[in-house]
A = this chain, B = another copy of it.
Amino acid sequence: MDKGRLEAFSDGVIAIIITIMVLELKVPHGDSLASLKPLLPVFISYILSFIYIGVYWNNHHHTMQVVKTVNGAVLWANLHLLFWLSLVPFVTAWMGENNFTKWPTALYGMVLLMSAVAYAIWMVILIKHEGENSLLAEAVGGDFKGRISIVIYAIAIALAWVNPCISFTLYIVVAGIWFLPDRRIEKKIVKDEQQ
A positions within 8 Å CB-CB of B: 1-2, 5-9, 11-20, 22-25, 27-28, 31-33, 36, 47, 50, 54, 57-58, 61-62, 64-65, 72, 75-76, 79, 82-83, 86-87, 89-90, 93-94, 97-98, 101-104, 107, 179, 181
Contacts and interface: CB of A to CB of B under 8 A. Distances in A.
Given A27-B24, A31-B102, A18 B61 contact: no
What's the dominant secondary structure at chain A's contact region?
A: helix
A104 B29 CA distance: 11
Contact of A103 (B12, B31, B54): B31
B97 A27 contact: yes
A86 B18 contact: yes
